[in-house]
Structure 1
Amino acid sequence: MKDTVTRAPVDRSLALPNILTYSRIAAVPVVVACLFAQSVHGGPLWLRWVALAIFIAAGVTDFLDGYYARTLGQQSAFGRMLDPIADKLLVASCLLMLAMDETIRGWTLWAAIIILCREILVSGLREYLAALRVSVPVTKLAKWKTTVQLVAIGFLIAGEAGDEILPWTSQIGITLLWISAIVTLYTGWDYFRAGAHHIMSE
């Protein structure tokens, strides 16, 4: 008679992909603090470069955590839950700070509002569908949207510090933000349409 060996579930909360995701979350208050110190307390412009460097590093972890999760076989439900949360915290906090210091102002505020509303809508939809055990995969267009969005925010974080080197830095960021917002509307509708028949059946 063979003994049955019961394997304990593997705790992957400290796996490399999740550690990278934690670092992205940890980057949020640092980026916010740099922007706050520069814009509200009249700090030196180099603080925007520090904020940009940390933001870029956080953006790189967004690519690396998924890459290592696949190559090392360390994908987990916890990681899939935490990764989009980290992304949304980073994007939302930066957009709010950029609106506060008026890097984003006027009509461009609508681009930021569209992006934030879409993130809330898709998050709610994903949570609802997850309860039904329905998965909505991320499309290639949505991934490109995220890339353009992060690049736009990067240019806007550089802001007036960047304008001193490249006069069109802020304008490039605003243009890319609008492009991201337009694509965001389409991908948001695409996600909603994909889950609509599950919602209507309830």
Structure 2
Amino acid sequence: MTLTIPNLLTILRLLAAPAVAVMFLYFTRPWADWFALILFVVAAITDWFDGYLARSWKQETKLGAMLDPIADKAMVVIALMVITGFSGMNPWFLLPATLIIFREVFVSGLREFLGDTAGLLKVTKLAKWKTTAQMVAIAVLFATGVFEHNILDRTAGMDTRMVDDIMAGRAADHVGLVWNYYASVITWWTGVVLLWVAAALTLVTGVDYFAKAMPYLKDDR
């Protein structure tokens, strides 16, 4: 095995995947949301950066080729699991998340069955767009958690009438309640829409991958 800088970046991204969930065990919210968001965004950036460096420096290795898709899937699946937890099993999020996780498990099992043959099935540009949509959607949804908990912190001690007055403009908004509310709504629905786009791309690329694998799944007669 060759341990290059691109490979080290991939390994760090792989380790960052469970660390996203650990943030919510050791930090209170919204700090946990902030740390998870920053960690996820940095890891997502390295996903592009390590591939670019490997190609530019001609340091593409078998270790990197093996770890890169594993790190991507771990980041996505663990992040979706975390967001499912704090979104309260919202069906608008849960359905596309389920489709994405199902596809990742199915394709991973198919790759394992195909063994060395899986290397012949090249990653398409559509699959790369799918990964990008997933990463952006998840980052935006982590931001939603930040705004939601800003609202909870800033309304502590307020009664319902005071909150209603601030939101209706009848009382001064000294704590930034209104903009946090709209930021939470905008980021939530933006993230959900992007996640549905990612889910659609996930299904298309999954069907395409299965179709390409079909010739290798036929029984010998």
When the two structures are superposed, what TM-score results if normalisation uses the length of structure 1? 0.85
Question: Displaced runs of 4+ in structure 1, greater than 6 A?
Answer: none
Could you give the per-residue CA deviations for residues 105-124 of structure 1, whole angstroms, max 9, x where no partner exists? 22431211110111111112
When the two structures are superposed, what TM-score results if normalisation uses the length of structure 2? 0.78
Q: Match for residue 150 of structure 1?
A: 135
Residue 132 of structure 1 deviates from its aligned partner by 3.8
Residue 18 of structure 1 deviates from its aligned partner by 0.7
Q: Match for residue 22 of structure 2?
A: 33
Structure 2: state its 5+ residue gaps: 149-179
Matched positions, count: 187
Q: Is the 8 A contact 2:80 2:97 kept in 1?
A: yes
The 1-side partners of 2:102 and 2:40 are apart by 22
Structure 1: state its 5+ residue gaps: 1-10
The 1-side partners of 2:197 and 2:89 are apart by 15
Q: Is the 8 A contact 2:92 2:192 kept in 1?
A: no
Q: Match for residue 11 of structure 2?
A: 22
Residues 176, 129 of structure 1: alpha-carbon distance in 2 compared, 3 angstrom cutoff:
same
Residue 159 of structure 1 deviates from its aligned partner by 1.8
User: What letter matches 2:22 in structure 1?
Assistant: A
Q: Match for residue 179 of structure 1?
A: 197
Give the root-mean-square deviation of aligned CA atoms: 1.8
Instruction: Tell me whether 161-170 or 54-63 shows the greater mean CA deviation.
Output: 161-170
Which structure would you say has the larger Rg?
2
Instruction: Tell me whether 134-143 or 187-196 shows the greater mean CA deviation.
Output: 134-143
Higher helix share: 2
Q: Is the 8 A contact 1:148 1:176 kept in 2?
A: yes
Q: Is the 8 A contact 2:111 2:118 kept in 1?
A: no
Percent of matched pairs sharing the same residue: 41
The 2-side partners of 1:152 and 1:133 are apart by 28
Could you give the per-residue CA deviations for residues 82-118 of structure 1, whole angstroms, max 9, x where no partner exists? 1111111111111111111226522431211110111
